[in-house]
Chain A
Amino acid sequence: MSTPQTPHTLHFMPSAGFRARAKDVVENPFLRKSFRGAMDFLMSKRAAQFPDAEELESLRSLGERIRQYNLAKLPTLLEQLEANLTKNGINVHWAETPEEANAIILGICQKHSARLMVKGKSMVSEEIELNHAAEAAGIGALESDMGEYIVQLAHEKPSHIIMPAIHKTKEEIAKLFAENVPGVAYTDNVDALIQIGRNVLRQKFLEADIGLSGVNFAVAETGTLCLVENEGNGRMCTTAPPVHIAITGIEKIVEKLEHVPPLLSLLTRSATGQNISTYFNMISSPRKPGEKDGPNEVHLVLLDNGRSQAYADEQLRKTLQCIRCGACMNHCPVYTRIGGHAYGTTYPGPIGKIISPHMLGLEATATMATASSLCGACGEVCPVKIPIPELLMRLREESFSAPHANPAMRGQGAGYSRLVSAIWRAWAAVYRSPGLYRLATWAGSRFSWLMPANQGAWTTVRTPLKPAPKRLRDMLKERG
C-alpha cells in the first residue's frame, strides 16, 4: 500500500459523511424540486444545441481525438508552452501541490504589496482553496463571477462547476444582497440583483492590485491562454488590475490554435447550451509599450495536484480529457437528487467522482465511486467521450481490492474489507459451479418463506425479495 501523504490542510469534507449529506437533500422536497428544475433546464438547453445526432457524434469523436492527442504529447507540450509563454513575457510557475500553488500566488501578491485580488471564475482556485489562503495572508480575495460572488457572500462553496450558485433561489439571493451589500433594499427582481452585483464589482475591478483567472485552453505553439466566460468579469480581471495571475491544471493544454475551435464549440454547447459564450479571451502577453491597457505582469501557475498520477495510467488518463463543461452533472440522476454540496469535494457529480480520488487520495473518497447506478448518462453526453462508468468501476476495484505493492493510485485498498472480499469469493465459487448454483437456487426456492421481511437497505423503500417457488429450470423440466 502506498504511504498516505500528509493530509492537506484544506477544508474538504470527508467521504464518510457523504451518505448523511445526501440523505439530507433527498429528504428535502424543496431542494429536490429545485435541482430537478435546474437540471431539466440545462439538459433542454444542451439538447437544443445538438439537433443533429450525427453531427454531435462526429464532433464528440473529434473532441476526444484532440484531447487524447494532446495528452499523449503532454510532457513535450508543457515544455513548449513554457518556452513560448516566456518568450511572450508571461511568467510560468509550476506547483505540485495546492500549498505550493498558494505560496506562489501569495508570493506574487506580497511582492506587489497587494491588498485586493479580484477573481474571475476558476475551479482550480477553488481546488487549492485560494480564498482561505489569501484571507490568512491578509489579502482580500473577491469573486467577480456573479454566481461565485453569491456563493462567497453566503460563505459557501460552489455546488456546480459552471453554475456555482445553482442551489440558490432568487429569494435567497435577494436576502443575501440586502443583508450584505450596504445601502441595498430587498428586491427579488433578477435584473435589479444583477445590477447591484455589477455596481459593487465595477468599483472593485478598478481598486484591485491583482486579477486572478482560470484558463480553459493553454495553446503551446503560440503561448496563448484562452478564457471562456459570459459576464465580462474575466476580461476585467485580466485587463484592469496591474498584475494578472492565471492558474490551471497541467492537463488543459493543446498544441495548436486549430485545436481550440472544436473544443470551444463542444464546451459552450454542452455546458450552457450556448452556441458561443459572450466572451472569449485570448491572452498572449502583458501590456506592450504603447498599449493603453492590460496588465504590466502576467503569470501562469500550472498545478499538478494528483493529475500526474492519473496521467501515468493508460485508463485513468482518460479522466484528464475533461474540458469542465459540467454536462455530466446536469444529466446525472444522482447529482439531480443530491446537488453539488453533498459530494464534499470541489468537483461534484460524475467528473468529481473520477477526478477527486487523484487529488485527495482514495482514503478520503472511497465511497464516492459507489454513488452511481452506472446508468451511463454521463458518458453519453460527455463532449470528449470520457468513459465515466468504466472509470467508476476501475475506482471501485482500486478501492475495494486488498492493498498491494506499486498501486496505481494513492490510497489503493482504502475500502478493502476482508469480509466483503470473502463474500464475493464465495459468490464466485457458487456461480462458477453449476452444481453449487443449482443447490443454492433450489434451496432459495424451497425455503423462500425463510426470506426475512427486513432485508436491510433494500426494504427501506421496497418489498422484500422472494425467490419464486419454482425456478425457470424446474419449470422447463416439468414441461419436458
Chain B
Amino acid sequence: MSSARTATPRPTDIYFFATCVVDQFFPGAGMDAITLLERQGIRVHFPDEQTCCGQPAYTSGFPDEARKVAAHQLTLFPEAWPVVVPSGSCAGMMKHHYPTLFARDPVRKAQAEALSARVYELTDFLVNVLNFKPEDCGSDCTVVLHTSCSARREMGVHLTGRQLLGDLVKVTVAQQDHESECCGFGGTFSIKQPEISGAMVEDKVKALKATGAERVVSADCGCLMNILGHAAWKDAQEGRSTPSLPGEHIASFLLRRTGGAQ
C-alpha cells in the first residue's frame, strides 16, 4: 500500500496531527516524534486548533457527531504539506474514513479526499518519504513491537515500524506469539465489553512478556494505554514495584537510540 509512495518528493514542511490521546496522555511521544522529524531537516507545523480525528464517535455508531468533529479538522491544513500522524488508528480514520464520512457533502468530500491523500502514519512517513535510516547509538537491547490493527489492516504500514527497528543494529526485535492479534482496546469496546477486552489484553500482555523483551514499543498510543495499563495493573496485583513490561511510543524509542533530543 505504502510502497508506491517511495517516489514522493522530500517535503520541507509538514503538519503534525498529534491526536487527542497523544496531546493529553502521551505528550512525550508527540514531542519525540516532532524532534525526530525536525532532526531530518523538516519544519514541523502544529496547528494549535487541532483536537481529535472523530474516531471515538464514528466507531461507536455516532457518525453525525464524528462528522462535526472531523469537519473542524478539515480546515486546519491549508498548505499542501503532508499531514503526519503518530498513530495508525487516527491516520486510518483520516485517510480511509473521512471521504466516506462526507460522502453526502460534495464540498467537504472534496476537502476530505484532498486531505486523505496526504495523510501519513509516522513510521510510514519516516521510511517511505524521508527514507530515514536510524543509526543506533545505544547498547544491546531486546524489544518487542506491537502493531495496531488499524496500522496493519487499514493503513498497511505494519512493516515500516519493523523496518525502523531492524535498522537499529544493537536492537533485537523479539517475535511474540499471535503477533497480529488485537490487544483488545477497540475504543469504547474496552468499556462496553470489559470481560472480553480484558481477556484479550491479558493474553496480549502474556505473549509480549513471554518474549523476555525489555520493553514493548508501538506506534499507537491507544494500544499502549491498554497494554501498559493492564501490565501495570497486573504488577500492582502481584506486588511488583518495578514494571514487568515497560513500554513507549516507537518515536521515543527511536529518538533515544539515535542520540536523543540534541
Spell out A's residues near B (CB within 8 Å). 19, 22-23, 26-27, 32, 333-334, 337-338, 367, 369-377, 379-380, 393, 395-401, 421, 424-425, 427-428, 431-434, 437, 441, 444-445, 456-463, 465-468, 470-476, 479
Contact = CB atoms under 8 A, between A and B. Distances in A.
Contacts of B196: 22, 26, 334, 337-338, 371
Contact of A393 (B56, B58, B181, B193): B58
22 contacts: A32-B199, A334-B196, A370-B192, A371-B196, A373-B190, A375-B182, A376-B149, A376-B153, A377-B153, A397-B63, A428-B65, A437-B51, A461-B201, A463-B229, A463-B232, A463-B236, A465-B229, A471-B27, A472-B23, A475-B27, A475-B30, A475-B31
A386 B109 CA distance: 24
B189 A374 contact: yes
Contacts of B197: 373
A473 B23 contact: yes
B26 interface: yes
Q: Tell me if B's interface is mostly helix, strand, loop or mixed.
A: helix
Interface of B: 18, 20, 22-28, 30-31, 34, 46, 48-52, 54, 56-66, 68-69, 71-72, 149-150, 152-154, 180-182, 184-202, 225-226, 229-230, 232-233, 236
Contacts of B50: 434
Nearest to A401: B61
Contact of B65 (A379, A398, A424, A463): A424
A104 to B, nearest CB: 38
B57 A424 contact: yes
Contacts, number: 187
A19 B153 CA distance: 27
Given A373-B197, A375-B182, A465-B225, A432 B189 contact: no
A376 B189 CA distance: 14
B182 A431 contact: no
Contact of B27 (A374, A431, A466, A468): A468
Contact of A441 (B24, B56, B71): B24
B63 A462 contact: no
Contact of B190 (A396, A457, A473): A457
Nearest to B184: A373
A46 B152 CA distance: 20
Contacts of A444: 24
A468 B25 contact: yes
A461 B69 contact: no
A473 B63 CA distance: 27
Contacts of B150: 376
A379 B153 contact: yes
A428 B60 CA distance: 13
Nearest to B237: A461
B193 A22 contact: yes
Contact of A461 (B58, B72, B202): B202
B63 A425 contact: no
Contacts of A434: 48-51, 72
A393 B46 CA distance: 31
Given A22-B195, A461-B202, A471-B23, A380 B57 contact: no
